[in-house]
Amino acid sequence: MKVSQVLGKRIEYLRKSKGWSQLELALESEVNKNYLCDLEKGRRNPSLEILERIADALNISLEELFKGVHSIPEI
Q: What would the pLDDT profile of 5-36 be if each residue is shown by its tens digit?
A: 999 999 999 999 999 999 999 999 999 999 99
- CA-based end-to-end distance of the chain: 6
pLDDT bracket for residue 2 (50, 70, 90): confident
Q: What is the pTM of this model?
A: 0.87
Q: Which CATH class is domain 3-66?
A: mainly alpha
| Beta strand residue intervals within 1-75, DSSP E | none
Q: Could you state, in order of their start, the residue ranges of all structural domains in the chain?
A: 3-66
Selection from 1, 6, 2, 16 nearest residue 68 by Cα: 6
The model's pLDDT over 28-62, given as tens digits with 9 standing for 90+, comes to 999 999 999 999 999 999 999 999 999 999 999 99
